Structure 1
Amino acid sequence: MASSTRKRVVVLGAGLAGLAAAWELVQSGHEVVVLEAQTRPGGRVLTLREGFAPGLTAEAGAMFFTDRFRHLMRLVQHFEIPYESIFAPSLPYARGDALFHLQGRRLRVTADSDVDWPYNLTAEERELGPFGIVNKYLLSAFAGMDDPVASGALPDWLLEHDDKTLLEFAAERGASPGAQEMIRHGGRFGARSDTASAASTLTADFAPTRDTAPLAFVGGSDVLPRALAAELDQRIHYGAEAVRIEQDQESAQIVVRSGGRQDRVIADQVVCAIPFSVLRHIEVAPALSPAKQTVVNGLEYLSVTRSFLQMRQRFWEDEGVMGNAQTDLAIGEVQQQPLIRSQAQGDRAILEAHARWAGEPPALEGMAEEERLRYVLEEMDKVHPGVGRHYEGGQSKSWQTDRWARGAYSLYRPGQISNWLPEASRQEGRIHFAGEHTSIFNSTMEGAVESGVRAAREIEES
């Protein structure tokens, strides 16, 4: 429904949160200007195409979602964007035996194999294996409890676990030290398992995928931000860097650097949809409240470096194993891309090394691109022996060295979901805040979209 009072709104950032906010505001009849420092939409939704053979793509940012994400699915359905389950026949995830590389050992796992896991596990945990351990100590906690995805709010039972990490939560539920080590190397959630709030990780990583398969976009994750950007069209100004945010009783003003000059853009309201890791380098006058400044300056972001190795053929299929693998190597999780196969790819594919960490960086982080790719290739040979014979070239993406991101996604430490998240999303005067870091579903595309919808609603109701 269109607002009775048309407002001029400036949105800072054309990532998924900013695009969602802008699109909602346009639908309601407001005048919207989007300022994006980069020359593309999407922010941390980034599908790589250049530098690979025809037909090959790689997701360097957001990858998966589920049909339980109601705000995201509303946009997907509106723009009629095709997607598939990652377990669909056209995707690689269900092909071949599972691979692990843990404690210096390459482990091939079948449904009926008796694996000698290299950890000190109980007899039951050894029988369960890594997926059973996650189900027993983490996923089972949701049984009979209020669901944050259905309600869109963080229930009290999850907030009670904001004071501990995921590994501490698992330990309380009986996980042995060995089982905790397996959780630590469990892919997406593993890197945060001993640093982030259990309430945050359980909500963002586990609640959405319970009883439903993860989904991937056909054509790349960036099809959604590109669809939004196409509708917003000339309302988006690319190459426009916000360097100062001002507000008073009459208006808000954004000082913008673009094309070698500085201009001022005047608005009634502002949606700040850029990461706090970037916002802390932008001048705000008058200064944000002390409580808000504490969160803006203190919120951490997970470091992620993703290295993509183009393979002439999917040689692992000849061995009968998946391209994907869980590892404790410095290169992190191994993932096969593109997520959805097409005839245009032929026999080629990409093997990705997806390194995530909080704290001390791994060896690959300080390397130049060529050295990093050589290192990743050598480590990848431990997972997929003979990989060098099929390697054609590659590239990498380090989110913490990207000046427009300065990290992959927000990391709320124990206690910060209760104390910092409400402050992160709180409006200050004419400035509204959006982005995955302001949502209970932080680190997800749903968190970004949901936050944009919320910010638009705040303006609509102001």
Structure 2
Amino acid sequence: MSDENPADEPACSRRGNIGTRTVEPGSADGARKKVTILGAGIAGLVAAYELERLGHDVEVLEADARPGGRIHTRRFGTGPDAPYAELGAMRVPEEHHHTWHYIREMGLAGAVRTFETLLSHDETYLTTRSGHLRRRDAAPVLVDEFTQQLTHSQYSSNTVLFGAWLAALSDAIAPTEFRANLDDSLHHELLDLVEETDLTPHLVGSARDQIDLHGYFAENPHLRTSSSGRLARFLHDVINETSPELIRLAGGMDQLVHRLVERIRGRITYGQQVVGIGQRGDHTELHVRDGDTTSTRRCGYVLCTIPFSVLRRIPLTGFSAAKQDLIRQMRYWSATKVAVHCSAPLWERDGIVGGASSGGGRIRQMFYPARDETGRDGAILMASYTMGNDADVLGEMTPERRHAVVLEEAGRIHPELHAPGTVRDVVSSAWGEHPFTLGAGVTRWGKDSAECERERELAQLPEGRTFFAGEHCSSTPAWVDGAIESAVQAVAAIDAHAGHPAPTAATRSGVAR
């Protein structure tokens, strides 16, 4: 992707443009507004940056001791070459134009590198019932295991090969509870459609026993659009998570966070936990805990980026019943990551440089650092990345137990992990247990597109002078791009607000049901 093409940037992100309107600094209605932003995650920081560019006054209150929210780069040392682990967001799909814009805007285009996945290298491992096999050797076993699951065998050998590889990705990526309900759709609904297409051009590998899934779905987009809601959501996520066009930021994703913080003039105050929100018509009342002290603040405008998983535990007054119902009901999935600081990149002895393996058991995906991410101070193995109920299993353990379990299972693939002096440190993040997130992101798996859009609209709809942003208010939940998208839309709404009561979920027709 070119770093010089402004036509690729979303119009809503360019200076002076919010949405499709061109505005002058000082607000669309001529009023300079004072906006209190709750949360210094990426949504809150982007909103603060854009509101200040439009001439508004901003303050940011953050409950945690650091900015970034679910962007969390953990560094093992203080030097510029110290190894690091992405305990939160770690990759950006090519199609996420909002994120790409701010990467460029913050001067980070030179740090863009390819992010490698389960499908990037033949030397990495896949889990099968026969044990861990190199990806290049796995096809015959995957096909045999998949064939045994089919209730009828009228499919061509290429269709069965397709199903076997997609099932292998499902086993690696999808949470256990989701996979249990996916098999019927995958085995019949999707394979019936695939059987009607020509897979031959998409056979790859030295033995032509692998499938170029991304090329195939790009050529046959109707397979995704005609699938049921649950299956369509799964296909979208699998294609995104294993795309050859994902990128990372060399040096850490938190660079985007720190560049934004440096650009924001207003005060960002940490350790400020919101414990009550009241909508009072012409202002919003906040109850904020700072250590052992709780204070009450009267705010002209509030932008709340607090995840609904946390917001549902906070007393809310003056909010519509429809909004409060959605806050209580919105479903979040967990994610748990366990990173191991190793004295050396021991996996390179197996010919593995980057990419990912499927660990199976409780560890699910395992990611290896790229060559530029290893150095004299060792290397970081993302030994376990789990989602959903798989993440809860690890997340609910004590950190000590969690780390021991992951090291034991990862050692089945890489026995060198058990050698004395190999492991220097182990760290983890269980987002489902973190008090200021209580989840890694919203999940809309199993919902059709109309239902997803209704939920998004209601989530973002303001309550008086309290506006909302965060990935839960976006069309791309659980991704950085969704958080940024929602922030840009909230900035436009705040900037355009002329002081009269904003529509709420209870008053705006066609949204609340």
Fold shared per TM-score above 0.5: yes
Distance between the aligned counterparts of 2:410 and 2:190, measured in 1? 34
Q: Deviations over 1:429-457 (max 9, x none)?
A: 11111111111111111001111011001
Aligned-CA RMSD value: 3.3
Q: 1:114 to 1:405 in 2, by over 3 A?
A: closer
Structure 1 counterpart of 2:402: 372
Distance between the aligned counterparts of 2:321 and 2:184, measured in 1? 31
Distance between the aligned counterparts of 1:381 and 1:169, measured in 2? 34
Please give the secondary structure, in 2, of the residue aligned with 1:395: strand
Structure with the bigger RCO (C-alpha within 8 Å, sep 6+) is: 1
Tell me the CA shift for residue 366 of structure 1.
3.7
Q: 1:104 to 1:133 in 2, by over 3 A?
A: closer
Structure 2 counterpart of 1:249: 281
- On the 8 A contact 2:38/2:44 being kept in 1, the answer is yes
Q: 1:456 to 1:234 in 2, by over 3 A?
A: closer
Tell me the CA shift for residue 384 of structure 1.
2.1
Q: Deviations over 1:153-195 (max 9, x none)?
A: xxxxxxxxxxxx876664422279xxxxxxxxxxxxxxxxxx9
Alignment of 1:167-178 (within 5 A): 170=186, 171-174=188-191
- On the 8 A contact 1:96/1:322 being kept in 2, the answer is no
Structure 1 counterpart of 2:140: 115
Tell me the CA shift for residue 240 of structure 1.
0.9
Q: Deviations over 1:327-360 (max 9, x none)?
A: 33111111124x5724644553324211222389
Tell me the CA shift for residue 406 of structure 1.
0.5
Q: 1:318 to 1:175 in 2, by over 3 A?
A: farther
- On the 8 A contact 2:396/2:433 being kept in 1, the answer is no
Distance between the aligned counterparts of 1:129 and 1:202, measured in 2? 12
Q: Structure 1 regions of 5+ residues with no counterpart?
A: 136-164, 177-194
Structure 2 counterpart of 1:22: 48
More divergent stretch after superposition (254-263 vs 37-46)? 254-263
Q: 1:293 to 1:257 in 2, by over 3 A?
A: same
Q: 1:35 to 1:394 in 2, by over 3 A?
A: same
Tell me the CA shift for residue 306 of structure 1.
1.1
Q: 1:125 to 1:335 in 2, by over 3 A?
A: farther
Match 1:83 to one of 70, 88, 111: 111
Structure 1 counterpart of 2:360: 328
1:300 equivalent in alignment to 2:331: yes
Please give the secondary structure, in 2, of the residue aligned with 1:10: strand
- On the 8 A contact 1:245/1:284 being kept in 2, the answer is yes
Q: 1:51 to 1:401 in 2, by over 3 A?
A: farther
Structure 2 counterpart of 1:313: 344
Q: Structure 2 regions of 5+ residues with no counterpart?
A: 1-23, 148-154, 170-180, 194-227, 498-513
Structure 2 counterpart of 1:383: 413
Specify the structure having the higher radius of gyration (Cα): 2
Structure 1 counterpart of 2:158: 124
Structure 1 counterpart of 2:20: none
Structure 2 counterpart of 1:140: none
TM-score, normalization: structure 1?
0.79
Distance between the aligned counterparts of 1:293 and 1:371, measured in 2? 37
Structure 2 counterpart of 1:5: 31
Distance between the aligned counterparts of 1:445 and 1:420, measured in 2? 19
Structure 2 counterpart of 1:262: 294
Distance between the aligned counterparts of 1:318 and 1:394, measured in 2? 21
Distance between the aligned counterparts of 1:218 and 1:298, measured in 2? 38
Structure 2 counterpart of 1:455: 490
Distance between the aligned counterparts of 2:189 and 2:350, measured in 1? 40
| Code of the aligned partner of 2:189 | E
Q: Deviations over 1:81-102 (max 9, x none)?
A: 13333268xx999566131123
Match 1:33 to one of 53, 59, 75: 59
- On the 8 A contact 1:373/1:395 being kept in 2, the answer is yes
More divergent stretch after superposition (258-267 vs 404-413)? 258-267
Q: How many residues align?
A: 410
Distance between the aligned counterparts of 2:65 and 2:391, measured in 1? 32
Tell me the CA shift for residue 264 of structure 1.
2.9
Structure 1 counterpart of 2:92: 65
Tell me the CA shift for residue 398 of structure 1.
0.9
Structure 2 counterpart of 1:289: 320
Q: 1:340 to 1:328 in 2, by over 3 A?
A: same
Tell me the CA shift for residue 412 of structure 1.
1.9
What percentage of residue pairs aligned between the two structures are identical? 28
- On the 8 A contact 1:400/1:408 being kept in 2, the answer is yes
Distance between the aligned counterparts of 2:233 and 2:462, measured in 1? 22
Q: 1:232 to 1:304 in 2, by over 3 A?
A: same
Distance between the aligned counterparts of 1:289 and 1:86, measured in 2? 45
| Code of the aligned partner of 1:396 | S
- On the 8 A contact 2:60/2:266 being kept in 1, the answer is no
Match 2:123 to one of 92, 97, 103: 97
Q: 1:236 to 1:291 in 2, by over 3 A?
A: same
Structure 2 counterpart of 1:188: none
